[in-house]
Amino acid sequence: MTKVSSVRPRTLWALERITALCLIPLGLWFALHLPRFQSLSREAFVSWCKEPLHLALLAAFLIIASLHARLGLDTIIEDYVSDQRLRRHARWLSGLLLNGSLSMGLLALGAMTLGAPS
C-alpha cells in the first residue's frame, strides 16, 4: 500500500475531489432510501440489501466514503499536527479506525446478503 505522504499533493487533491463527486449521487441515493428503512422489518431490509444494484451501491458508498474520510483526515493531520511522532500516531490511529469501520460495514453487508444467522 502506498503511503499517502509519498503521493504528490496534486494527486491527493484530485482524488479528494473525485471521491467527493462520487459521493454526491451515492449520498443522494442513500438519503432518498433512508426514510423507507424505518418502516421495514429486518427481513424486508435484508431483502432490499440483497438486490444486486442496492448491494453494489451500498458497498460503493462505504468504500468511497471511507477513502474520502481517510484522505480528509490525513490532510487535516498533515496540516495541523506539527510533531512528527504525534502525526504518525494520529495517522495510524485514524487509518485503523477507518479501515476497521469499513471492514465491519462490508462484513455486515456480506453477512446479510449471504444469509448468515442473526
Mind listing the pLDDT tens digit for each residue in 1-28? 455 556 678 888 999 999 999 999 999 9
- Tell me, what's the pLDDT at 2? 53
H/E element, 54:
helix 52-80
Helical H segments across 8-51, by residue range: 9-37, 42-50
Per the listing, cell 465491519 goes with 104
In this predicted model, what pLDDT tens digit does every residue of 61-70 receive, in sequence order? 999 999 999 9
CA distance linking residue 35 with residue 47, whole number of Å: 16
- Tell me, what's the pLDDT at 117? 57
Q: Is the pTM of this model over 0.75?
A: yes
As given in the structure block, the three cell numbers for residue 109 are 453487508
As given in the structure block, the three cell numbers for residue 89 are 500516531
CA distance linking residue 7 with residue 101, whole number of Å: 24
In this predicted model, what pLDDT tens digit does every residue of 22-62 receive, in sequence order? 999 999 999 999 999 999 998 999 999 999 999 999 999 99
In this predicted model, what pLDDT tens digit does every residue of 98-116 receive, in sequence order? 999 999 999 999 998 887 5
- Tell me, what's the pLDDT at 9? 80
Measure the CA angle with vertex 37, ends 105 and 24; round to 5°.
65
- 8-114 has which fold? 3 helical TM bundles of succinate and fumarate reductases (1.20.1300)
In Å, the largest CA–CA distance within the chain is 50
